[in-house]
Amino acid sequence: MQNGRVLKQQNGLYTIEDENGISRVGNAGSKIRKEGYKILAGDFVEYILNTDNSIFINSLLERKNSFIRPPVANLDTLFIVVATDEPAPDFYNIDSMLSITEANNVNPIIVVNKIDIKSQNEICSIYEKCGYKVYSICGNKEDGIDELKNSIEGVCAFAGQSGVGKSTIMNQLFPELLLEVGEISQRIQRGKNTTRITELFKINKDTYVADTPGFGMIDFINFDLLTLEQLNEKAFPEFTPYKNNCKFRNCTHLKEESCAVISAVRENIIPASRHENFIRLHDELSSKNQYK
């Protein structure tokens, strides 16, 4: 029995890379299908190598996380792309994505794009204050691209609103993917119902990029990518140093007068938009729990 990483799944056939970097195609046993697990790009599997060099997947190994859009497992880094303008940043969307990464053990990196049309200072200051890594770039020039490229590690994906420049940046970072990225943009334009296959492209040893940008956040709440408990305990890490100083041990940090988190917001140590979006996510997740 051998272990390998799934790079692609298409029509029930899986492309698996072994520990020496050799890729082979094969299928999965009925046991896995009966268990109802969908094997995703990024999954680690245990398989048998047949004499004809094809493979037969026996079991799916434990994953650290899995996502729906794009369908990938064991994601290490999510690049959250934000434009300074065109489209204007949607801070609720950014904070939702950041919360999901925190809840699912993914390292988030914020990429502020289109710095040629508007200053990046407001966005950078909000997220640097919270301790996040932020890169400012101009996607259609080479400025800042090298520094961003050096931060890429493990299994990565790109996310962000439509039009922020995800495909443009991926083309700059991985010119060798140009063709594939181009094809995907066309597939996106053809409509939402077209089946998209997510494939992990190998950039170098241990570094892969999911070729489908998007990481749609629209219905993340329906998929349990973030629970109320995770929101309170793992998301918004910049609240953590203040939480112990709240007057009440069971402080919700939503509106209590004696809340140390809220004091830090008033003193402009914690950005106000972050606290507003914490409340909004809290409300959304609480109302979801009521109907469960």
Ligand X SMILES: Nc1nc2c(ncn2[C@@H]2O[C@H](COP(=O)(O)OP(=O)(O)OP(=O)(O)O)[C@@H](O)[C@H]2O)c(=O)[nH]1
Structure tokens at 175: 């010119």
Q: Which of the residues 220 through 259 are near ligand X (CB under 6 A)?
A: none
- Of the residues 167, 198, 212, 277, which one makes contact with ligand X according to CB under 6 A: 167
The distance of Cα 285 from the centroid of its chain, to the nearest Å, equals 19
Select from 13-21, 30-38, 113-121, 264-272 the region that touches ligand X (CB under 6 A). 113-121
Q: Buried b vs exposed e over 234-248: b needs ≥16 C-beta within 10 Å?
A: bbbebbeebbeebee
Counting residues that bind ligand X (by CB under 6 A) gives 18
Residue of 113, 136, 198, 212 that binds ligand X (CB under 6 A): 113
139 binds ligand X (CB under 6 A): yes
Structure tokens at 45: 């599997």
Give 63 or 196: the residue with its C-beta nearer to ligand X: 196
Q: 280, 240, 281: which is closest to 261 by C-alpha? A: 240
- Two tokens at 91? 């801070």
Integer Cα distance of 99 and 236 in angstroms: 7
Strand partners, 49: 55
* Residue 114 binds ligand X, judged by CB under 6 A: yes
Question: Token pair of 52, please?
Answer: 């004809």
Give the burial string for 264-280 (b: 16+ CB within 10 Å, else e): bbeeeebbebbbebbee
Q: Tell me how far, at minimum, the Cβ of 102 lies from Zn ion, in Å.
A: 18
Tokens in use for 113?
């794009």
| 185 is a site residue for ligand X (CB under 6 A) | yes
- Binding residue for ligand X, selected from 104, 140, 230, 232, defined by CB under 6 A: 140
Terminal Cα distance for the chain, rounded: 42
CA–CA gap between residue 273 and residue 96 (Å, rounded): 12
- Of positions 184, 246, 264, 265, contacts Zn ion by CB under 5 A: 246
- Shortest Å, Cβ 144 to ligand X: 10
Find the binder of Zn ion among 60, 80, 173, 261 (CB under 5 A). 261
* Closest distance to ligand X from the beta carbon of 150 (Å): 19
Rounded CA separation 141/80 (Å)? 19
Q: Residue 26 or residue 160: which is nearer to ligand X going by CB? A: 160
265 binds Zn ion (CB under 5 A): no
Choose the contact partner of 261 out of Zn ion, ligand X, none; CB within 5 to 8 A by kind. Answer: Zn ion
**Contacting residues toward ligand X, per CB under 6 A:** 113-114, 116-117, 138-140, 160, 162-168, 185, 188, 213
**Contacting residues toward Zn ion, per CB under 5 A:** 246, 251, 253, 259, 261
